C-alpha cells in the first residue's frame, strides 16, 4: 500500500527533559541524511512525534531507511484524508481490504488534535467501528483489550490520518547526541559490533585503523573500509583514519622481548588513538575488547595497556560472549565480511605465546627502550582520512584477489 505519511515515535527521547530539543533537532537532521535522495519528502520534527510527509515517495523504501536511524522507537505508515467522516470510512475500509485476509479482532483508537472537527474521540471510535463491522461482517470482531489490529485515527488540522501498523525502529539515541568517539576498528568480528553499539547510544564515531604494509595487504585495508561503509548506514557517513603502523611494529619486534611484544604494540596503538582523540575533539576511545577472550583482553593486560592515557577507553562488548557478538554481527551484516581471511597487523606480529598477565612496570620499562615520541610523530604525520558513505564499496574493486580466496 502506498502511504502519505510516516509518523515517527521517539521513545526514549521523551524522557530526556531539557535535552529534548537537542535530541529532536539531531534526530531530524539524521532522518534528513538517511532520506538523502528522496527530494520530495518533507520532515516535520515536533515535540512529541515526527511527521514525514512522503509527497509521493515510495513508502516502503523510505521505511527501510528509517529502520536504521537510532532514536526512533516505532513508526507508523499512515493514509491522509480530508477532515470528513465519509473520507475516513472509505480509507479505513481500503486498509482493512488490503491488509486483512483472515478473520481478525480490531479496535479503533482515536487521537484528537483538532478541536474544530465536529466528532469527538469516543464518537469516532464508535461510528467508525460500527461501519467497519457492517462492511466486513465475516472478517472483523471487536476486541478492545488485545486486538489483532489497532486502527489508529489521528484528527489533525492538516487532515485525518489513519494507520494500522506500528513498526519497531532501531531504538537507542540519535547518533551525535552523546558526542564524538574514536573507534579502534580492526577487520575482526568484535570491533564493528562495538562500533554499532556505541552509535546506538548516540556516539558519533571516527574509525581509527592501524595497518602495516607490506605485512598487511591492500585487501586487509579495504576490508576495514568496507566494514565502515556497512556501519555508515546508521549515521550517513563516517571518517576513516588509517594510521601507518609498520615502523612501530618493526621497531617493537627488534627491541622488545617476545612476551611483551603485544603489550607494547597495544600501548602504542592506544597512545596514537588518544593523540587523535585530543586533536580531533573525541571524548573517548572505543574498542572491541571482550573480557577474557584472548591474551590481550585480561584485566592485567588492560592495566598494562590503559596506563598510557587518562582518556576514557570504553568497551561496548566487554561482557558479551562470542556467540552473542556473532549474533549481532550477523544482524548488522558485518559478520561475513569480518570472517574473510585477510591478515590484521596484530596477527602478523603476534608472538606464539604473549603474556596473558603482563606486569605494568615491565611494560613501562620495555617501552622506554623506544623513541616513542618520534615513532608517534611519524605515524601521525602520515595518517590518511577518508570520508566513507553507506554503500561505498572497496573490496569488489579487486575481484581477482577476492576470487582467489573463495
Ligand X SMILES: Nc1ncnc2c1ncn2[C@@H]1O[C@H](COP(=O)(O)OP(=O)(O)OP(=O)(O)O)[C@@H](O)[C@H]1O
**Residue 210 assigned to a binding site:** yes
Instruction: Based on the shown chain and the rule CB under 6 A, indicate whether residue 367 belongs to the binding site for ligand X.
Output: no
Contact predicate 314/284, CB 8 Å: yes
Residue number with CB closer to ligand X (139 or 294): 294
Instruction: Based on the shown chain and the rule CB under 6 A, indicate whether residue 191 belongs to the binding site for ligand X.
Output: yes
Residue number with CB closer to ligand X (57 or 185): 185
Instruction: Based on the shown chain and the rule CB under 6 A, indicate whether residue 345 belongs to the binding site for ligand X.
Output: yes
Instruction: Based on the shown chain and the rule CB under 6 A, indicate whether residue 288 belongs to the binding site for ligand X.
Output: yes
When binding is defined by CB under 6 A, the residue of 185, 252, 277, 314 that contacts ligand X is 185
**Residue 184 assigned to a binding site:** yes
> Measuring CA to CA, which residue among 287, 364, 278, 288 is closest to residue 326?
288
State the Cα angle at 283 between 19 and 252, rounded to 5°.
Answer: 165
Instruction: Based on the shown chain and the rule CB under 6 A, indicate whether residue 68 belongs to the binding site for ligand X.
Output: no
Minimum gap (Å) between residue 227 Cβ and ligand X: 10
Minimum gap (Å) between residue 330 Cβ and ligand X: 14
When binding is defined by CB under 6 A, the residue of 283, 294, 318, 376 that contacts ligand X is 294
Residue number with CB closer to ligand X (82 or 324): 324
C-alpha cell at 381: 604525520
**Residue 156 assigned to a binding site:** no
Residue number with CB closer to ligand X (189 or 222): 189
Instruction: Based on the shown chain and the rule CB under 6 A, indicate whether residue 346 belongs to the binding site for ligand X.
Output: yes
Instruction: Based on the shown chain and the rule CB under 6 A, indicate whether residue 308 belongs to the binding site for ligand X.
Output: no
Minimum gap (Å) between residue 248 Cβ and ligand X: 12
C-alpha Rg value of the chain to the nearest Å: 27
Torsion over CA: 360, 361, 366, 369 (sign): positive
Residue labelled with grid coordinates 509527497: 55
Contact predicate 258/274, CB 8 Å: no
Site string for ligand X, 232-271 (x = CB under 6 A): ----------------------------------------
Minimum gap (Å) between residue 189 Cβ and ligand X: 5
Residue number with CB closer to ligand X (85 or 335): 335
Instruction: Based on the shown chain and the rule CB under 6 A, indicate whether residue 360 belongs to the binding site for ligand X.
Output: no
Minimum gap (Å) between residue 342 Cβ and ligand X: 11
Residue labelled with grid coordinates 467501528: 129
Q: How far apart are CA 137 and CA 194, in angstroms?
A: 52
When binding is defined by CB under 6 A, the residue of 4, 190, 206, 367 that contacts ligand X is 190
**Residue 340 assigned to a binding site:** no
237-244, strands of its sheet edge to edge: 313-314, 284-286, 180-184, 204-211, 237-244, 384-389
Burial of residue 326 (number of CB atoms within 10 Å: 0-12, 13-18, 19+): middle
* # residues contacting ligand X (CB under 6 A): 19
Alpha carbons within 13 A on the beta-carbon side of 289: 21
Burial of residue 186 (number of CB atoms within 10 Å: 0-12, 13-18, 19+): buried
When binding is defined by CB under 6 A, the residue of 26, 51, 80, 209 that contacts ligand X is 209
When binding is defined by CB under 6 A, the residue of 176, 289, 302, 370 that contacts ligand X is 289
**Residue 266 assigned to a binding site:** yes
Instruction: Based on the shown chain and the rule CB under 6 A, indicate whether residue 165 belongs to the binding site for ligand X.
Output: no
- Full 3-state SS string of 67-106: CCCCCEEEEEEEEEECCCHHHHHHHHHHHHHHHCCCCEEE
Minimum gap (Å) between residue 212 Cβ and ligand X: 8
CB atoms within 10 A of CB 237: 16
Q: Where do the DSSP E strands lie in 120-263?
A: 140-142, 149-156, 159-163, 167-171, 180-184, 204-211, 237-244
Q: Annotated binding residues, as ranges?
A: 184-185, 209-210, 266, 288, 297
Binding residues (CB under 6 A) for ligand X: these are: 184-186, 188-191, 208-210, 287-289, 293-294, 296, 344-346
Q: Annotated binding residues for ATP, as ranges?
A: 184-185, 209-210, 266, 288, 297
Amino acid at each position: 500500500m502506498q502511504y502519505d505519511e510516516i509518523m515517527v515515535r521517539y521513545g526514549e527521547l521523551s524522557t530526556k527533559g531539557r535535552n529534548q530539543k537537542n535530541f529532536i533537532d539531531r534526530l531530524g537532521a539524521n532522518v534528513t541524511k538517511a532520506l538523502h535522495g528522496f527530494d520530495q519528502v518533507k520532515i516535520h520534527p515536533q515535540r512529541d512525534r515526527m511527521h514525514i510527509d512522503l509527497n509521493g515517495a515510495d513508502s516502503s523504501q523510505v521505511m527501510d531507511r528509517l529502520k536504521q536511524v537510532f532514536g526512533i522507537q516505532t513508526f507508523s505508515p499512515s493514509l491522509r484524508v480530508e477532515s470528513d467522516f465519509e473520507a475516513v470510512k472509505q480509507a479505513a475500509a481500503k486498509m482493512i481490504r488490503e491488509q486483512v485476509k483472515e478473520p481478525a479482532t480490531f479496535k479503533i483508537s482515536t487521537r484528537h488534535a483538532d478541536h474544530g472537527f465536529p466528532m469527538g474521540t469516543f464518537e469516532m471510535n464508535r461510528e467508525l467501528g460500527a461501519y467497519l463491522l457492517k462492511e466486513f461482517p465475516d472478517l472483523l470482531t471487536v476486541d478492545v483489550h488485545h486486538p489483532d489490529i489497532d486502527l489508529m485515527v489521528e484528527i489533525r488540522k492538516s487532515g485525518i490520518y489513519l494507520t494500522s501498523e506500528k513498526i519497531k525502529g532501531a531504538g537507542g539515541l540519535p547518533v551525535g547526541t552523546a558526542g564524538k568517539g574514536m573507534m579502534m576498528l580492526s577487520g575482526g568480528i568484535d570491533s564493528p559490533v562495538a562500533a554499532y553499539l556505541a552509535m546506538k547510544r548516540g556516539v558519533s564515531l571516527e574509525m581509527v585503523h592501524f595497518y602495516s604494509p607490506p605485512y598487511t595487504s591492500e585487501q586487509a585495508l579495504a576490508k576495514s573500509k568496507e566494514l565502515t561503509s556497512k556501519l555508515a548506514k546508521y549515521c550517513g557517513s563516517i571518517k576513516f583514519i588509517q594510521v601507518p603502523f609498520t615502523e612501530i611494529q618493526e621497531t617493537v619486534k627488534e627491541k622488545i622481548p617476545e612476551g611483551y611484544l603485544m603489550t607494547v604494540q597495544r600501548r602504542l596503538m592506544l597512545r596514537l588513538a588518544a593523540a587523535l582523540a585530543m586533536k580531533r575533539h573525541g571524548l573517548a576511545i572505543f574498542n572491541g575488547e571482550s573480557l577474557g577472550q584472548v591474551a590481550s583482553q585480561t584485566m592485567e593486560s588492560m592495566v598494562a595497556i590503559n596506563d598510557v592515557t587518562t582518556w576514557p577507553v570504553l568497551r561496548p562488548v566487554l561482557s558479551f560472549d562470542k556467540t552473542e557478538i556473532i549474533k549481532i554481527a550477523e544482524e548488522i551484516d558485518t559478520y561475513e565480511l569480518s570472517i574473510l581471511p585477510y591478515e590484521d597487523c596484530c596477527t602478523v606480529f603476534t608472538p606464539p605465546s604473549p603474556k596473558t598477565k603482563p606486569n605494568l612496570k615491565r611494560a613501562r620499562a620495555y617501552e622506554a627502550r623506544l623513541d616513542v615520541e618520534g615513532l608517534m610523530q611519524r605515524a601521525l604525520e602520515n595518517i590518511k582520512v577518508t570520508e566513507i558513505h553507506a554503500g561505498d564499496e572497496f573490496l569488489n574493486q579487486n575481484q581477482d584477489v577476492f576470487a582467489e580466496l573463495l
